[in-house]
Structure 1
Amino acid sequence: MSGQRILFVDRDGTLIEEPADCQVDSFAKLRFVEGMIPALLALRDAGWQFVMVSNQDGLGSDRFPREAFEGPQALLLQLLESQGIAFREILIDESLESEGRSTRKPGVGMLLHYLRDRSLDLAGSAVVGDRETDLQLAANLGCRGFRLGQGGETWASVAAALLAGPRQAQVERVTRETRVWVALDLDRAAEPEIATGLGFFDHMLEQVGKHGGFTLRLRCDGDLHVDEHHTVEDSALALGQALRQALGDKRGLDRYGEDGFAGAITLPMDESLAGAALDLSGRPCFVFEGRFPRAEVGGLATELVPHFFRSLCEGAGMNLHLRVRGENTHHMVEACFKAVARALRQALRREGTGLPSTKGAL
C-alpha cells in the first residue's frame, strides 16, 4: 500500500550506546552508536519519519531521578536536530517489567494510534532496536524488525535493507503432476504456512522458514496417489525459483552461509549432527555426505531428502554442501533442513549495497 512509512527507533543501545548499568543518567555516558546519523539522514531523505520508542525502567524513582534522564535526553535531541534529524513523536514507558503494562515494549499500548492510522504504510514501516523485545514489537505491529549488535545488523545494513526495498516473490509452478504456489518475504520473519499433503514434509519446510528467519508460504496439490516424488521435487524447484526472484540482482547480499563447516559439524538434533555450507552464486551445485538408517520416515522416502536439496539448488542457482550423521532417521532429516535454513539465514543478510562478486554479476 502507499502511505507514510515510520521507523520506530529504540534509544539505548540503538541511538546511543547503553552503559553497563543500563542507565544514561549523566552527560558523560552519552555516546552515539556508530553509523546512526548517516543512516537516519539517508532514510529521512527517502521520506521516512521517526518515532522514538523506549523503555526506561523506573524513570522518576529514587534509583533513576527524572532530572538525571532529562539532561542527556535533551542534548541527544538537540544534537540530532542540528543534523536535520527530528522525531515525529517520542514515547517513553517508565514502568518496570514486573508491572506487566501494555505500554511497555513489546506491548503496543503506546502505539495504538499508529495501528489505527490508515494514512500510514505500517506493513512497510520498521522497528530498529538492540533487544529481542524490539523484534517482538515489530511482529506485534505487523512490520519489519532489525536488531543491532551481537552479530546482527549495523545501521549501514539497516539503511541498505530499507532503501533497497523489500525482497519478495510469488511463484506458481503448474505441471500435469503438481500445482505449487510459493510466497516469500526475505526481510520479514513470520510463522511458516505450509500445506503439501505430506505432514512430515510440511514439518521440514516449516524449519526452512522458521530457522531461515523469513516469511515462507507454500501450497502444493500433487499426485500423491502415485507417490510423493513429484510433490517434493516441484516444491523444491518452486521454492528455489522464488528465492532467486526475491534476491533480484543480489546487491548488498552477504552471499555465503555456513553452519558447521568451520571445524566440527555443529547443528545437533539429539544424537544427530548436520552441517551446511552454501553460496548464492547463481551456479547450481549440490554435494551430499550421509546415509539414512531407514528408507522412509513419516511417509517420505529418505532418498528424496538429497533430491529435494538438489532441486532447490537448481531452482535457486545455489551451491550447497550438506552432510549429516546420526542414528535416528527423523532427527537426521530434520537436522539437515535446520542446518540449511541457518546457513541461508546468514547468506541472505544484507551488508551495504555492493555486489559480492569480482565478476560484476551473480
Structure 2
Amino acid sequence: MKKILFIDRDGTLIIEPKNKQVDSFDKLVFYPKVITYLRKIYLELDYELVLVTNQDGLGTSSFPEETFWPTHDLMLKVFNGEGILFSGIHIDKSFPKENASTRKPRTGMLKKYINNSNYDLKKSFVIGDRDSDMILAKNIGSKGIYINLENGKNKYKSNAESSVVLKSNNWEDVYKYLKLKERIVVEKRTTNETDIKIEINLDGSGKSSINTGIKFFDHMLDQVARHGKIDLSINVNGDLSVDEHHTIEDTGIVLGYAFRNALKDKS
C-alpha cells in the first residue's frame, strides 16, 4: 500500500504573507530549506506527495483566481524543476463560515484516499502549520507533523495532540524524522527450558516491563532500557526450579536477535 504525505501550502511550503494571500510574484517566498529536504524525502523515501490547502474565498472578488494561479503554477514549476512531483493537488475555495465538507480539517477533499486499500493512511502524515492540519491528520487516521517558522519546537499545543509526532520549525527535522524508520521488534523463543517473549523499540523513551523471575537480572535489564532510552518488554517463564542458567542464557540470545532484527536496516 502507498504511504502519503498530505502537505499544506501557505506557511508550510511557502511563507504566508500578512494578508494571507499569495497573489503576486513578489509574495512568493519558499519556506527555508523546503526544496532541499522535500527533494530528499521524495527521492529517498517511499511517500507520495499530495498538496492540501484551504484558500479562503478563492474565485471571489476578495481573491480573484487570476491573481492566484500564476504564483501557484510557478511554485509547482520550481518544485517540478527540482524533481519534486505532487501526485495530487486539492484546493478548497470556501470561507470558514460556510462549514464546507471539503474544508480542512474536514475530510471531503480526501475521499479518494479514505477506506481505499491502495493507501496506508496509518503510515501516512499530514504536514502543516495550523491546528486544522493536525486535526485533519486525526480525522483521517494519520499522524501530524507540525511545522511553523514562528514557533519554537515545544511551545505549540494541538487540539489533536495525540496525533502529533513532531513539532519543528525546520524541514531538515521533518526529513530526519521520516528517514528514521520505526524500529520495533517482537521476538519469541520457546525451548524445553524457557518460554520467552521480548518486545523492543529502539526509538523509545526508556520504559521497561521486565519479568524473568530473577530480580537482580530484571534490575540489570531495566538499566539497559533506562540508560539506552529503549522501550523494553521482557517476559520469561524458565526452569528456575532447576537453576538460573537457562533463563539468563536464553534471554540473552533472544534479546540479541531482537537487537539484530531492529537494526537490520542500518541506513
Please give the TM-score of this superposition, normalised by the length of structure 2. 0.64
Q: Partner residue of 1:317?
A: 226
- State whether structure 2 residue 132 is matched by structure 1 residue 101: no
By how many angstroms is 1:170 displaced? Answer: 7.0
AA aligned to 2:48 is: Q
> Cα deviations across residues 239-268 of structure 1 (Å, max 9, x unaligned)?
xx97xx4244x8xxxxxxxxxxxxxxxxxx
1:100–1:169 distance in 2 versus 1, CA, 3 Å:
farther
Q: Partner residue of 2:232?
A: none
Q: Partner residue of 1:81?
A: 80
1:160–1:68 distance in 2 versus 1, CA, 3 Å:
same
Unpaired runs of 5+ residues, structure 2, are 153-166, 189-196, 207-221, 229-267
Structure 2 distance, partners of 1:159, 1:6, is 14
> Cα deviations across residues 87-146 of structure 1 (Å, max 9, x unaligned)?
111100001111111100011101011013211121111110001111111111111110
The SS at the match of 1:91 is strand
Structure 2 distance, partners of 1:170, 1:64, is 54
- State whether structure 2 residue 84 is matched by structure 1 residue 129: no
The SS at the match of 2:113 is helix
1:164–1:101 distance in 2 versus 1, CA, 3 Å:
same
The counterpart of 1:38, out of the listed 31, 36, 39, is 36
By how many angstroms is 1:24 displaced? Answer: 0.6
1:22–1:171 distance in 2 versus 1, CA, 3 Å:
farther
1:47–1:60 distance in 2 versus 1, CA, 3 Å:
same
- Residue pairs, 1:181-330, within 5 angstroms: 245-248=200-203, 314=223, 316-317=225-226
The counterpart of 1:11, out of the listed 9, 12, 26, is 9
Structure 2 distance, partners of 1:127, 1:7, is 6
By how many angstroms is 1:166 displaced? Answer: 2.5
Q: Partner residue of 1:23?
A: 21
1:93–1:14 distance in 2 versus 1, CA, 3 Å:
same
The SS at the match of 2:126 is strand
1:80–1:246 distance in 2 versus 1, CA, 3 Å:
same
The counterpart of 2:175, out of the listed 159, 182, 188, is 159
Structure 2 distance, partners of 1:52, 1:41, is 15
Q: Which runs of 4+ in 1 moved over 6 A?
A: 169-172
Structure 2 distance, partners of 1:43, 1:125, is 13
AA aligned to 1:137 is: L
AA aligned to 2:226 is: G
Aligned length: 192
AA aligned to 2:42 is: R
Unpaired runs of 5+ residues, structure 1, are 173-180, 182-240, 251-279, 283-312, 320-362
By how many angstroms is 1:47 displaced? Answer: 2.6
1:14–1:38 distance in 2 versus 1, CA, 3 Å:
same
> Cα deviations across residues 31-51 of structure 1 (Å, max 9, x unaligned)?
010121122212212232111
- State whether structure 2 residue 49 is matched by structure 1 residue 50: yes
By how many angstroms is 1:316 displaced? Answer: 4.1
AA aligned to 2:180 is: A
Q: Partner residue of 1:138?
A: 137
1:169–1:89 distance in 2 versus 1, CA, 3 Å:
same
By how many angstroms is 1:59 displaced? Answer: 0.6
Structure 1 distance, partners of 2:46, 2:183, is 19
Give the CA RMSD over aligned residues.
3.0
What is the aligned-residue identity percentage?
Answer: 40
Structure 2 distance, partners of 1:76, 1:318, is 46
Structure 1 distance, partners of 2:103, 2:126, is 15
AA aligned to 1:9 is: I
Structure 1 distance, partners of 2:187, 2:107, is 34
1:168–1:129 distance in 2 versus 1, CA, 3 Å:
farther
Q: Partner residue of 2:67?
A: 68
